[in-house]
C-alpha cells in the first residue's frame, strides 16, 4: 500500500527546517549506499552523526508518534533515525531496493524495513524532476508532494528518484519496522480500522462496532511479529 500522510509538518516548520538545511554540512550520498545502489546514486546527504540531522530527525520521529494516520497505516514498532538528502544539478537515485535490515547507529538494535518513507521538504514548483517513482504490485506510482507531506510505501518495492534538472529537492527519509510485517495484512487492518472509525462517528451506539473492534484486535494479535 502506498499512502500519503498530508501536512506532517506545517509551512512555518518546513521553512525553519529548510533554513537550517540550506546552511548544513552536505556530503556525497554514496557513503550510505549499498554495493549495487552506489553506482546509481548522485545526491548529497547529511552525515548520520551530524548533530543537526540527529536533532531534526528526533523531532520528526516525535511528530510521527503523534500522527494518527501514520500509526493506523504503519502500525510502527521501530523507526530508524531519519536521514536528510539533497538533489540538484541532475542528481538522481536510479532504481534500487533498500536494505531489508538496518543497524540503528549507536544502539544494539536493528530495524526491519517493512515500510520506507520520504518527507518532502521542497515544494514541487521549486524544482523540476525529482519524482519518487515506486514500483509495486499495481504498477508505478510517481510521487511529488508539497513540502511537509510524507509518502509511505512498502520497503519491498523497487524505487528511484528521477534527475533534478532545475532547482533543489530537499527531503527526509526513513524506514519503519511494523508490528505487522506483511503489507497486505497491514492494508486489511487499516481498512478495517478506518471503517470502524467511520461507523463510530455515524452510529456510535451500534453493537456491531464492538464485534468489529474485537476482530481488529484479534487479527492484530495473530499477525503481529513482536
Ligand atoms: O529521496 C527519496 O525520496 C528517496 C531516497 C531513497 O530512496 C533512499 O535514500 O534509499
Ligand atoms: Fe531507497
Closest Cα to atom 5 of ligand 1: 173
Ligand 1: distance of its center to the CA of 150 in Å? Answer: 12
Contact 116, 157 (CB under 8 A): yes
Complete domains list, the chain, with CATH: 3-178 (2.60.120.620), 183-223 (4.10.860)
Residue list for the binding site for Fe cation: 96, 98, 159
pLDDT confidence band for 136 (50 / 70 / 90): confident
When pLDDT is averaged across residues 155-161 and rounded to a whole number, the result is 95
Closest ligand 1 atom to residue 160 Cα is: 7
Mean pLDDT along residues 64-92: 98
Q: Are strands 110-112 and 101-103 parallel, antiparallel or unpaired?
A: antiparallel
pLDDT given at position 192: 98
Report the pLDDT averaged over residues 80-91. 97
> Is the pLDDT confidence value at 226 over 80?
no
Confidence (pLDDT) at 39: 85
Per-residue pLDDT, 139:
82
Mean pLDDT of 134-155: 93
Note the pLDDT of residue 169: 98
- Backbone torsions φ then ψ of 52, nearest 5 degrees: -65, -45
Q: Provide the annotated binding site for 2-oxoglutarate.
A: 169
Extended strands (E) in 88-168: 92-96, 101-103, 110-112, 115-120, 127-129, 132-136, 139-143, 150-154, 158-161, 164-167
* Of 196, 115, 117, 130, residue with least CA distance to 162: 130
pLDDT at 67 (0 to 100): 98
Helices (H), the chain: 11-22, 51-65, 68-74, 183-202, 208-223
Instruction: Find the 82 Cα to ligand 1 centroid distance in Å.
Output: 11
| Rounded CA separation 176/119 (Å) | 13
The CA-based angle 198-201-202, given to 5 degrees, is 90
User: pLDDT at position 49, please?
Assistant: 94
What are the contacts of 23-27 at 24+ separation with CB within 8 A?
Answer: 24/50, 24/52, 24/84, 25/50, 25/52, 26/86
So what's the pLDDT on residue 187?
Answer: 97
Position of cell 497491514? 186
- Looking at every residue in the chain, the average pLDDT score rounds to 96
Query: Does 28 have pLDDT greater than 80?
Result: yes
Across the range 17-28, mean pLDDT stands at 97
Cα 48 to ligand 1 centre (Å): 15
DSSP state of 226: -
Residue nearest to atom 4 of ligand 1 (CA): 118
Amino acid at each position: 500500500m502506498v499512502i500519503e500522510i498530508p501536512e506532517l509538518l506545517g509551512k512555518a516548520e518546513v521553512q525553519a527546517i529548510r533554513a537550517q538545511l540550506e546552511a548544513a554540512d552536505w556530503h556525497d550520498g554514496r557513503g550510505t549506499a549499498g554495493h549495487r545502489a552506489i553506482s546509481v546514486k548522485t545526491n548529497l546527504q547529511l552525515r548520520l552523526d551530524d548533530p543537526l540531522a540527529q536533532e531534526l530527525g528526533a523531532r520528526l520521529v516525535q511528530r510521527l508518534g503523534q500522527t494518527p494516520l501514520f500509526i493506523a497505516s504503519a502500525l510502527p514498532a521501530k523507526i530508524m533515525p531519519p536521514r536528510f538528502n539533497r538533489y540538484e544539478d541532475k542528481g538522481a537515485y536510479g532504481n534500487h531496493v533498500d536494505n531489508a535490515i538496518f543497524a540503528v547507529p549507536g544502539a544494539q538494535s536493528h530495524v526491519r524495513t517493512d515500510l520506507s518513507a520520504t518527507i518532502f521538504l521542497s515544494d514541487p514548483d521549486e524544482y523540476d524532476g525529482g519524482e519518487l517513482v515506486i514500483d509495486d504490485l499495481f504498477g508505478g506510482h510517481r510521487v511529488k508532494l508539497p513540502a511537509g507531506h510524507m509518502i509511505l510505501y512498502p520497503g519491498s518495492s523497487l524505487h528511484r528518484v528521477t534527475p533534478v534538472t532545475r532547482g533543489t529537492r530537499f527531503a527526509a527519509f526513513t524506514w519503519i519496522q511494523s508490528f505487522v510485517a506483511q503489507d497486505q495484512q497491514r492494508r486489511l487492518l487499516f481498512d478495517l480500522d478506518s471503517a470502524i472509525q467511520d461507523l463510530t462517528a455515524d452510529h456510535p451506539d451500534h453493537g456491531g462496532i464492538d464485534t468489529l473492534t474485537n476482530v481488529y484486535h484479534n487479527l492484530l494479535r495473530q499477525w503481529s511479529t513482536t
